[in-house]
Amino acid sequence: MWILYILTVAWLHIVIVNGDIVFEEQPENQAVIFGQDLFLPCSAIDLDTNSKEGLVVEWNLGGKWRYDKTSIFSNGTLLVPTVTEDDLGNYTCLIYNSSNQRVLESQQARVFHAYIKMFEVSPVPVYALEGEIVSFDCITGESAPPPDVYWERNGEEFLGGEQHIATYGGHQKGSLIKQYSMRLILRALPTLDGSFNCLARNPALNIDVRSLRVLLQTAELESEPYVMEEMVVSSMIASINQPILIDCPIRGKPQVEFSWYKDGELLNGSPDFFILRNGSLHKSDTQAADGGLYNCHGTNPLGFAQSPNINLTIARISMVFEEEPQNLFVVAGLSAELICKPPISVPPAEVTWYKDNALLVPRTGEQSVLVVKLADGSWNIRFREIQKIDEGEYFCVATNQYAIPSSRTSRVVTVSIGGR
């Protein structure tokens, strides 16, 4: 009878109290690094008055008050400066009303040390025949917070193949400690041969751990020469007087013999060109006359293949601007334009404007100053409602990074503004 009475009272009590005061934000589990500051947010609101007036936030750790080194911001956030081992544990946020009665208690926020363990499973080496489907597996060690995981090939991030990642090890959903299983599925190709490994990065500690590195080795099947689509390029740009290397996208086994053609004429045997063992064509001193259409042929005892054309363009930029800017005198508030049509250039030049020897800073709004690129190839400055501050000396620079020298500078012009 008494017990029932107490329960009823307790139940009523909770209903009345929780009726209108609710959490807006509760603290979440966190992985921390010793020496850094910890912030745990918490706030509640009284729905009746739609305000936080009179509500006081208090914090405890493992059921005990914490007044020593911590502080509580007016928004309720708890600050624990320079976290140490003693600061780890379960934090709870408590809300008191204006008559100093506890009205809410938050979920526990577990604060624990960030860490990452070694891989539990590393991949094993694979010997495969070309075209065979092979796979590598890894299982990370535990990490808090959860690690970012990648595959690496020859020490660099590898995005190819088919990659599967799943959580592993029965950690609860939403847990800050995680482990992943990783699988990489590949079609074995001699061009993919190399060393493979997994990498797990703890984002809080910024520490990487790697699995063992293992080799993929593929035995090439005999084949007639064939064009490797991923190696095909249709155009290239070369700088004058510089060496150039054009790869031949043909492979095959046994060893392919290569020959190169320019505009239909055989280059093998020419003293200016050298054909490397892997089929690439080399020239040490590119000249304007070297521009044209190149292709390579590959032959072995099993057959023959011919690459698509590669259009080699020799970069250049002319001396003179097609159109240079002119001095301007404009009445304030009117619109005006400074013209810069760069010299003829292959590939087309990029234009940069300078004002008083510094990069032009564009402006938006009613009184805008913008560089506009027109269909005729010019890059003009457009002033809308020109202002006194636009007075100064202007010039434009046309750049073609492939050409030598790579840029041309226009004449310097003056913009003066008249009053109204």
Ligand X SMILES: *[C@@H]1O[C@H](CO)[C@@H](O)[C@H](O)[C@H]1NC(C)=O
- Binding residues (CB under 6 A) for ligand X: these are 17, 41, 62, 73, 75, 77, 89-90, 97-99, 101, 103, 108, 110, 235, 245, 247, 276, 278, 280, 293, 311, 313
Give the 3-state secondary structure of residue 18. helix
A 10 A CB-CB count for 243 gives 11
- Looking only at the bridges linking them, the beta strands covering 102-105 and 89-96 are antiparallel
Residue closer to ligand X by CB (options 289, 361) is 289
CA distance 44 to 195: 54
Q: How far is the CB of 75 from ligand X (least distance, A)?
A: 4
Give the 3-state secondary structure of residue 398. strand
A 10 A CB-CB count for 328 gives 19
Q: How far is the CB of 83 from ligand X (least distance, A)?
A: 14
Residue closer to ligand X by CB (options 41, 203) is 41
Residue 13, H or E segment = helix 2-18
Q: How far is the CB of 96 from ligand X (least distance, A)?
A: 8
CA distance 315 to 293: 15
Of 286, 282, 278, nearest to 255 by C-alpha is 278
Residue closer to ligand X by CB (options 86, 356) is 86
Q: How far is the CB of 1 from ligand X (least distance, A)?
A: 25
Residue closer to ligand X by CB (options 77, 259) is 77
Residue 172 CB-half CA count within 13 A: 4
Residue closer to ligand X by CB (options 231, 412) is 231
Q: How far is the CB of 324 from ligand X (least distance, A)?
A: 25
Give the 3-state secondary structure of residue 153. strand
Q: How far is the CB of 322 from ligand X (least distance, A)?
A: 18
CA distance 365 to 283: 53
Residue closer to ligand X by CB (options 25, 385) is 25
Residue closer to ligand X by CB (options 71, 368) is 71
Residue closer to ligand X by CB (options 57, 396) is 57
Q: How far is the CB of 70 from ligand X (least distance, A)?
A: 13
Query: Interior CA angle at 398 toward 395 and 400, to 5°?
Result: 160
Residue closer to ligand X by CB (options 128, 250) is 250
DSSP assignment letter at 192: G
Tally of residues, the chain: 420
Of 245, 397, 221, 406, nearest to 310 by C-alpha is 245
CA distance 417 to 382: 15
Residue 316 CB-half CA count within 13 A: 15
Q: How far is the CB of 65 from ligand X (least distance, A)?
A: 16
Q: How far is the CB of 255 from ligand X (least distance, A)?
A: 14
The answer to whether 264 and 305 are in contact (CB under 8 A) is: no
For 154-157, the CB contacts below 8 A with 24+ separation are: 154/194, 154/195, 155/195, 157/199
Q: How far is the CB of 404 from ligand X (least distance, A)?
A: 18
Q: Return all residues near 132 (Cβ < 8 A) that are at least 6 apart.
A: 187, 188, 218
Residue closer to ligand X by CB (options 263, 285) is 263
